[in-house]
Amino acid sequence: MGFTVFILIIRISLLLILASLPVFLLVELLLRLAVPGLPGALTMLGTAMLLSAFAVLIIAGLLGIFKIIIRSALDYFSSKQRVQRRLWFVQARQDQVKRLFYFKARQIKYFNELSRKRLLKLNNRKHIRSLSKAIDKDLLSIKAKLPGTTYQQLQQDHARYRSRQDVEALLTLQQKISTLV
């Protein structure tokens, strides 16, 4: 049943409704004229016409809904739709894998950066420790050649730079000590 069939069914039911209205008007006229028997039969005819019009509308609507449901179910289970849903699933899965890869890569970069910073910090501490020991040796070796205040100032500078973990200042101090020798 096509769209035009439903339009025809609606037209028929509307015509039945419109035809029942003059029948009811005729019944009213016959009742006023006091014609016996005929108004009762015409009332039943008008009622039957109204009921049949509404029944045709309801049945046509139910058939239309049933047809739409069947067509939708057949379309849903068709091979074209199955392939389309499978394609959408694969695309969604690929998008999910891409997002997962992106976030895993970011996580790996983050952890690598953390470990690089940690190793750099450990290396700096080790370097500062060895530099500090070298400065201590240099200070002890030139202790006798320096005045007491200069030696104490160099020791205080050394302790301050070591506590601040200042590599540049320690290197400068070591160069200063080597020039004093």
Q: Over its length of 181 residues, how does the chain's per-residue pLDDT go in tens digits?
A: 577 887 888 888 889 899 999 999 999 998 888 888 888 898 999 999 999 999 998 998 898 899 999 999 999 999 999 999 999 999 999 999 999 999 999 999 999 999 999 999 999 889 889 988 988 898 888 888 888 888 888 888 889 988 888 888 888 888 888 887 6
Q: Is the pTM of this model over 0.75?
A: no
Cα 174 to Cα 50: distance, rounded to the nearest angstrom: 113
| CB distance 166 to 124 below 8 Å | no
- Nearest-Å Rg of the Cα atoms of the chain is 51
The helix or strand, by DSSP H or E, that contains position 104, with its residue range, turns out to be: helix 79-141
